[in-house]
Structure 1
Amino acid sequence: MRHAGSNARLLEPQPEVADEFALSVVEGLSRPRKALSCRFFYDARGSDLFEQITRLPEYYPTRAEAQILSAYADEMMAEIARDSVLVEFGSGSSLKTETLLARAPDGIAYVPIDVSESALASAQRRLEARFPNIAVRPLVGDFSLPIEVPPDLSGRPRTGFFPGSTIGNLTPPDAVELLRTFKSTLPRGSRLIIGIDLKKDARKLVLAYNDAAGVTAAFNLNLLVRINRELGSAIDVASFRHEAIYEPREGRIEMHLVSTIEQEISIAGHRIHFEANERIHTENSYKYSIAQFQELALSANWTPAHVWIDDEGQFSVHELISG
């Protein structure tokens, strides 16, 4: 992953570790309980599949959050002054952010942070054309690490934006650590606007991650396609199936890839054995009640402020104040 530090320049990525993907895959598949990091979902094909997922009828989070942003953007942006900086963590295409930027005063700076240089460049071109009076200052970086805004923006008030309930992919202790890490970018008194998926009927949750069209299955299985392509493996992708389950004790959706047969695969010179029905854990998506998330935020020294909820009570957007 790439990290934009104090000397980072616009759209200048730091070099990748060449073997990072191979090392992570081999290590994860060598565990007693096999696992792959969800951060490897997003190659070009994976990113395209995820965009398709957000438009599926079963996948409510994107629509619910968009409704909240559209209805309450004026409230969310009410405290944004002309000299403010809006920092988005994991900005991707920045499409959701346009709803906020449309309510922002002229003169603010927008700092999108993402590991994808191409996504940042595309978003910058689009946003500069639509919002000529907003300074768009992209940074290529890994938002899970401390990141500093460009030096000429360092003295200005800041608001963070972290939509999509991305924090739900982390275990609660890791989510607390990420909120603490954000403080390196959002100092005391800064605001953070963050999307959180709410607990609800388990059947609705499972359908959102196991759609009838099979797009989420293709998204999950694309991890194996990527391993074949980038690591020279010959995994029979058809011998694995997608599985999404709700784990009520943990309050999370779990995604797995399940080997339908006993088999042995070779990855980067390592032989890895699978029993029939053995799983690879690929993603968690934690769901919170409002009180649970506010308690988590307090443990990271963030003070809960406003909460906005969609009409059906499926999703929430929280305002936190950095302590």
Structure 2
Amino acid sequence: MAPLNSPDLPHSGFIQLYRRDDDAIRAELTAGLLAEQPATSPKFLYDALGSKLFEAICELPEYYPTRTEKAIFDARLHDIAKSTGRGSTLIDLGAGNCAKAAQLFPYLQPLQYVPVDISVGFLKDAVESLRQRFPQIRMTGIGMDFSSTMELPPVVRREKRLFFYPGSSIGNFSPIEAATLLGRIREACQSDGSLLIGVDMIKDKDILTAAYDDALGVTASFNLNLLLHLNTLIGTDFHVRDWRHVGCFNESASRIEMHLEARSDVTVRWPGGVRRFAEGERIHTESSYKYTRQGFLQLLERAGFAAAQTWTDERGWFLVCHARVA
């Protein structure tokens, strides 16, 4: 691999690895809509409008994860930087607008910043803005679905990789899926890498439910927008007015669930498929698993991480964890 300051490597750029496979998307969504328990992957929530709506959700008073995680970073950044060290290859998974990583730059002083996201247009705009603010940091944005692969292009430094996965996005995966994803990250870390991750903790169910069913209805709009995205992706004829948003906490599974519930009997058609939904029938659109500190550390250990350091807020609502490869 060329050295970091090689003229063969661009100082900044964007690499598009994700290519939308319309046939695969159609097959996946059709299978989900026709399943006994209809469901779609949460990744389909994030079209251009969905990404902007999620940014709005993060500003809501009920949605504590973003501000609680930020408060932990604000209070403990020196300790976190001491744990992670400086001069890393900072790989930001699900980077979005890159704001969370940007607050770390003065402390971690990464040699290279690699934001990764499937929402390509959104990420390109964010990287372009960010590299103007931090011209001294080599930046390479990557359009990639990291939920299915963690193979990074050669332009990404192999030395001292620090994977950054904030926002408790790990909760969108079941514990088995999360262990698989963490295992891929562990492998991509090489021998001297590490992981800095945010994890939402188990707490009072009323607090959890309110965070996913806010009074203004922004989360409802975010969830209902999925129907419009499906209409675009596979030609379904969903009408938003036929559905309502449902957010609830499944205590037995330790997870928040988001559903779209039919307000009355409704038939949805699309090229090659049709499904009748009875009144009250639901489409499961997202899960967000919540953890105890010990439970998550055990998950990390099974994935091949060790020597974890953790920080939390005073209420114990959220956990930030830095773990090195075992």
Taking structure 2 as the reference length, the TM-score comes to 0.91
**Higher mean C-alpha displacement, 123-132 vs 92-101:** 123-132
Deviation at 1:116, TM superposition (A): 2.5
CA distance in structure 2 between the aligned counterparts of 1:116 and 1:20, rounded to whole angstroms: 17
Classify 1:238/1:144 alpha carbon distance in 2 versus 1 (closer, same or farther; 3 Å): same
Residue 32 in structure 1 maps to residue 23 in structure 2? no
Aligned to 2:81: 77
Alignment of 1:193-272 (within 5 A): 193-272=196-275
Q: 1:184 is matched with which residue?
A: 187
Q: How far apart in 2 are the matches of 1:196 and 1:183?
A: 17
Shift of 1:149: 4.2
Match of 1:274 among 245, 255, 277: 277
Q: Distance in 1 between matches of 2:321 and 2:213?
A: 27
For residues 209-264 of structure 1, the C-alpha deviation after alignment (integer angstroms, 9 at most, x for no partner) is 00000111111111111222333332222111111111111100011111121222
Q: Does 2:101 match 1:97? A: yes
**Aligned partners of 1:89 and 1:112 also within 8 Å:** yes
How far apart in 2 are the matches of 1:248 and 1:304? 30
- Is the aligned partner of 1:293 residue 2:296? yes
For the Cα contact (< 8 Å) 1:13–1:117, is it kept in 2? no
Tell me the equivalent position of 1:56.
Answer: 60
Letter in 2 for 1:62: T
Pick aligned residue for 2:112 from 102, 109, 113: 109
Q: Which moved more, 1:213-222 or 1:296-305?
A: 296-305
Tell me the CA shift for residue 312 of structure 1. Answer: 2.7
Q: Secondary structure at the match of 1:136?
A: strand
Amino acid at match of 1:72: R
Secondary structure of the residue aligned to 1:21 is: helix
CA distance in 1, matches of 2:53, 2:176: 29
User: Identity over aligned residues, as a percent?
Assistant: 37
One-letter code of the match for 2:38? K
In structure 2, how many angstroms separate the alpha carbons of the residues matched to 1:35 and 1:149? 30
Q: How many residues align?
A: 314
8 Å CA contact 1:304, 1:318 repeated in 2: no
> What is aligned with 1:133?
136
CA distance in 2, matches of 1:296, 1:264: 41
Point out where structure 1 has 5 or more consecutive residues left out of the alignment: 1-8
Corresponding position of 1:315: 318
Q: Cα distance 1:153–1:213, how it changes in 2: closer, same or farther (>3 A)? A: closer
The 2-side partners of 1:222 and 1:121 are apart by 22
Which deviates more from structure 2 when the two are superposed, residues 67-76 or residues 230-239? 230-239
User: In terms of mean alpha carbon deviation, does 270-279 or 193-202 score higher?
Assistant: 270-279
Q: 1:216 to 1:128 in 2, by over 3 A?
A: same
- Amino acid in structure 1 at the alignment position of 2:309: H
Secondary structure at 1:249 match in 2:
helix
2: CA distance, partners of 1:36 / 1:78 = 40
Shift of 1:120: 2.7
Partner AA of 1:211 in structure 2: D
Deviation at 1:99, TM superposition (A): 1.3
Cα distance, 1:190–1:214 mapped onto 2, change above 3 Å: same
Corresponding residue SS for 2:82: coil
TM-score by length of 1: 0.92
Kindly state the Cα deviation for residue 87 of structure 1 after the two structures are TM-superposed.
1.1
| 1:81 and 1:108 in contact (8 A); partners too | no
Residues 46 and 321 (structure 1 numbering): CA distance in 2 closer, same or farther, change over 3 Å? same
Query: CA-to-partner distance for each residue in 1:115-150, whole Å, 9 max, x for gaps?
Result: 223233222222222222211122221212343444
Please give the secondary structure, in 1, of the residue aligned with 2:192: coil
Equivalent residue in structure 2 for 1:17, among 1, 11, 21: 21
Structure 2 unmatched runs, 5+: 1-12
Task: Evaluate the alpha carbon distance shift between residue 70 and residue 139 of structure 1 in structure 2; reply closer, same or farther with a 3 A threshold.
Answer: same
For 1:158, the equivalent position in structure 2 comes to: 161
Alpha-carbon deviation of 1:322?
A: 1.2
Aligned partners of 2:220 and 2:244 also within 8 Å: yes
Does structure 1 conserve the Cα–Cα contact (< 8 Å) formed by 2:37 and 2:283? yes
- Measured on the aligned residues, the alpha-carbon RMSD in Å equals 1.8
The offset of 1:42, in angstroms, is 0.4
Q: CA deviation at 1:269?
A: 2.8
2:177 paired with 1:174: yes
For the 8 Å contact 1:22–1:268, the answer to whether it is kept is no
Indicate if the aligned counterparts of 1:303 and 1:321 stay in contact, CA closer than 8 A.
yes
